[in-house]
Structure 1
Amino acid sequence: MYEASVGLFVPYLRNLSALLDKGVVYAEARKFDPAVLLGMRMAPNMYDLAQQVGEACRHATVAPALLAQCEPVALPPLEHDMAGLQARIATSIEFIESLPRADIDAAAELRVFFKLKNGTELPFTGRTLLLTNSIPQFFFHVTTAYDLLRHAGVELVKKDFLGRK
Structure 2
Amino acid sequence: MTISMYEASVGLFVPYLRNLSALLDKGVAYAEARKFNPEVLLGMRLAPNMYDLAQQVGEACRHATVTSALLAGREPVALPALEHDMAGLQARIATSLEFIASLPRAEIDAAAERKVVWRLKDGTELPFTGRTLVLVNCIPQFFFHVTTAYDLLRHAGVELVKKDYLGRK
TM-score, normalised to structure 2's length? 0.97
State the 1:146 CA deviation.
0.1
Within the candidate set 13, 19, 38, 1:15 is matched to 19
Q: Which residue of 2 aligns with 1:70?
A: 74
- Choose the corresponding residue for 1:112, options 96, 111, 116: 116
Could you tell me which residue of structure 2 aligns to residue 98 of structure 1?
102
Q: One-letter code of the match for 2:129?
A: T
Q: Deviations over 1:49-75 (max 9, x none)?
A: 000000000000000100101100100
Partner residue in 2 for 1:48: 52
Question: How far did residue 76 of structure 1 move?
Answer: 1.1
- Counterpart in the other structure of 2:167: 163
List, as ranges, runs of 4+ consecutive aligned residues in structure 1 with deviation greater than 3 Å. none
How many residues are matched? 165
Tell me the SS of whatever aligns to 2:68: helix
Structure 2's unaligned 5+ residue stretches are: none
Structure 1 vs Structure 2: percent identity of aligned residues?
87
Aligned residue in 2 for 1:85: 89
Tell me whether 1:139 sits opposite 2:143 in the alignment: yes
**TM norm structure 1:** 1.00
Equivalent in the alignment of 2:31: 27
Distance 2:27 2:125 in 1: 36
Q: Which amino acid aligns with 1:123?
A: P
